[in-house]
């Protein structure tokens, strides 16, 4: 304790853990030390056995656990926690058009979006996610929830060419994101506004181009579902005589500030176009599998140098926001699909959940790895568990053995948001109670 009132050299110190940096060389530091000041990492190095950690306002003993970058969820629809398990075991077209769109129309309002988003934030923080990339309606309310939680996020107002929650007249579908951007750009370092066009089959060419232009004018990320299903690809082929990726390329949608979501049905030419345009991809293996959309050609995508992050999608189609589940699924699914056990090695998958996701959503210079100068977004995994004993390769444990419930502490921007599995910024019991009330109404 600092009894004399002198300023501490560091705001936060984390020690006595194995640090998985996820830096370019994927350096792993046994008995490592991380020091942070003003939200940024200022030191990261090993400690000798008899060396004590330096003084700090807060010191966290990792107790021999794994210390790694906070996970980055590159595709979410946070308020859809309200529809978790509502319509399972259905093809995507039926699931979306006969269940989800009608449920959103009947049951979504600003207050419900806020409570659903707060629940999503609690779920993500408790499972080690410190940053998410979201797209939905009433995104101002999502943003308020993110602020309450203390998480980092890229948040996009949804755009679609028919009546949607908060946008009864499709003619206004670009006025809402314009106002959203004006409200939130440069307002806080933790939140970056964005625009999310649902897809090329629910948005006209004019809407797509105007939405992308709005992002370009403000230097923001543009997000879109693309090449998710065979039906989508057939529809675009029939209407435009090309693949969905080729169609977006014709519209000049693809560049380094574009996030392409799902990308299950890509041709080799599509992959070459995406790589040339330097767009990023969010890979959502659990949602793709559950909706039987298919298996993305991920080894080819990664081999082309495209930035790829892992995303959970929304809770209506996954049904969770757990990136530990997603890592395990991503590794094993592609091994089975290629009959190659060396495909999607653990290091590759950890990178997708951290630095790869950060790069895909435009934050790779700020987060995604533990390095001096980057933001202090850090999680600690408690390894004093039977299923995590012994440890030979930390990255392997993270992908194949660790569970989200093993996450003990979570730090965002140098601030502790979860301590010993307790969320400090929100009343999780109250949030769950309110969501149960909403669910009871939806059930009726």
The answer on 201 and 159 residing in a single domain is: yes
The answer on 241 and 293 residing in a single domain is: yes
Question: Is residue 51 one of the residues assigned to a domain?
Answer: yes
How many helices (H) and strands (E) the chain has is answered by: 16, 17
Q: What is the pLDDT of residue 1?
A: 39
Question: Is residue 109 one of the residues assigned to a domain?
Answer: yes
DSSP element (H, E) containing 259? strand 258-262
The answer on 98 and 19 residing in a single domain is: no
Question: Is residue 270 one of the residues assigned to a domain?
Answer: yes
The answer on 311 and 396 residing in a single domain is: no
With CA atoms as reference, report the closest residue to 197 among 165, 167, 216, 222. Answer: 222
The answer on 115 and 36 residing in a single domain is: no
The answer on 298 and 159 residing in a single domain is: yes
How far, CA to CA in Å, does 77 sit from each of 34, 80, 155, 280, 341? 33, 6, 10, 18, 32
The answer on 257 and 186 residing in a single domain is: yes
Question: Is residue 429 one of the residues assigned to a domain?
Answer: no
Q: What is the pLDDT of residue 5?
A: 60
pLDDT in tens, the chain (444 residues): 344 566 789 999 999 999 999 999 999 999 999 999 999 999 999 998 888 999 999 999 999 999 999 999 999 999 999 999 998 998 888 988 898 888 888 899 999 999 999 999 999 999 999 999 999 999 999 999 999 999 999 999 999 999 999 999 999 999 999 999 999 999 999 999 999 999 999 999 999 999 999 999 999 999 999 999 999 999 999 999 999 999 999 999 999 999 999 999 999 999 999 999 999 999 999 999 999 999 999 999 999 999 999 999 999 999 999 999 999 999 999 999 999 999 999 999 999 999 999 999 999 999 999 999 999 999 999 999 999 999 999 999 999 999 999 999 999 999 999 999 999 999 999 999 999 999 999 988
Question: Is residue 93 one of the residues assigned to a domain?
Answer: yes
Question: Is residue 243 one of the residues assigned to a domain?
Answer: yes
Domain count, the chain: 2
The answer on 213 and 120 residing in a single domain is: yes
Q: What is the pLDDT of residue 6?
A: 65
Residue at a domain's end among 360, 387, 411: 360
DSSP element (H, E) containing 269? helix 268-277
Q: What is the pLDDT of residue 50?
A: 83
Question: Is residue 54 one of the residues assigned to a domain?
Answer: yes
The answer on 87 and 55 residing in a single domain is: no
User: 342 is in which domain, residue-wise?
Assistant: 71-360
With CA atoms as reference, report the closest residue to 221 among 190, 256, 171, 249. Answer: 256
Contact between 269 and 244 under an 8 Å Cβ cutoff? The reply is no
With CA atoms as reference, report the closest residue to 193 among 225, 146, 161, 123. Answer: 146
The answer on 372 and 352 residing in a single domain is: no
Please report, for the domain that includes residue 406, its CATH number.
2.30.40.10
Question: Is residue 418 one of the residues assigned to a domain?
Answer: yes
> What is the 3 state secondary structure string of 66-132?
EEEECEEEEEECHHHHHHCCCCCCCCHHHHHHHHHHHHHHHHCCHHHHHHHHHHHHHHHHHCCEEEE
The answer on 142 and 25 residing in a single domain is: no
The answer on 396 and 266 residing in a single domain is: no
Please report, for the domain that includes residue 273, its CATH number.
3.20.20.140
Residue at a domain's end among 313, 340, 360: 360
């Amino acid at each position: 304790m600092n009894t004399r009132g002198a300023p501490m050299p560091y705001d936060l110190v984390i020690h006595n853990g194995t640090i998985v940096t996820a830096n370019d060389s994927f350096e792993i530091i046994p008995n490592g030390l991380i020091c942070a000041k003003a939200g940024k990492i200022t030191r990261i190095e090993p400690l000798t056995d008899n060396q004590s950690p330096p003084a700090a306002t807060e010191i966290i003993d990792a107790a021999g656990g794994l210390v790694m970058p906070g996970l980055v969820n590159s595709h979410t629809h946070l308020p859809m926690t309200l529809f978790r398990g509502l319509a399972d075991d259905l093809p995507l077209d039926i699931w979306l058009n006969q269940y989800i769109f009608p449920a959103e129309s009947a049951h979504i309002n600003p207050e419900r979006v806020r409570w659903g988003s707060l629940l999503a934030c609690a779920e993500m923080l408790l499972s080690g996610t410190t940053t998410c990339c979201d797209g939905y309606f009433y995104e101002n309310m999502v943003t308020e929830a993110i602020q309450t939680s203390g998480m980092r996020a890229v948040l996009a107002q949804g755009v679609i060419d028919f009546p949607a929650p908060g946008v009864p007249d499709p003619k206004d579908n670009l006025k809402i994101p314009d106002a959203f951007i004006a409200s939130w750009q440069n307002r806080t370092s933790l939140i970056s506004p964005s625009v999310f066009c649902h897809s090329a089959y629910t948005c006209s060419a004019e809407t797509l181009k105007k939405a992308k232009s709005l992002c370009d004018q403000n230097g923001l990320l543009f997000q879109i579902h693309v090449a998710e299903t065979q039906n989508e690809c057939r529809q675009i082929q029939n209407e435009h005589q090309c693949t969905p990726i080729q169609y977006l390329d014709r519209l000049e949608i693809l560049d380094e500030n574009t996030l392409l979501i799902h990308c299950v049905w890509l041709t080799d030419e599509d992959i070459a176009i995406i790589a040339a345009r330097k767009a990023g991809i969010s890979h959502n293996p659990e949602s793709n599998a559950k909706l039987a959309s298919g298996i993305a050609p991920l080894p080819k995508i990664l081999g082309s140098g495209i930035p790829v992050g892992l995303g959970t999608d929304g809770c209506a189609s996954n049904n969770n926001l757990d990136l530990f589940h997603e890592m395990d699924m991503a590794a094993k699914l592609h091994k089975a699909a290629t009959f190659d056990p060396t495909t999607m090695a653990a290091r590759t998958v950890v990178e997708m959940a951290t630095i790869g996701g950060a790069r895909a959503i435009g934050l790779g210079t700020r987060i995604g790895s533990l390095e001096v100068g980057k933001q202090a977004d850090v999680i600690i995994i408690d390894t004093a568990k039977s299923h995590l004993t012994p440890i030979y390769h930390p990255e392997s444990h993270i992908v194949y053995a660790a569970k989200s419930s093993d996450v003990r502490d979570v730090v965002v921007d140098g601030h502790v948001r979860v301590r010993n599995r307790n969320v400090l910024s929100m009343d999780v019991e109250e949030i769950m109670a309110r969501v149960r009330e909403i669910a009871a109404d939806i059930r009726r």
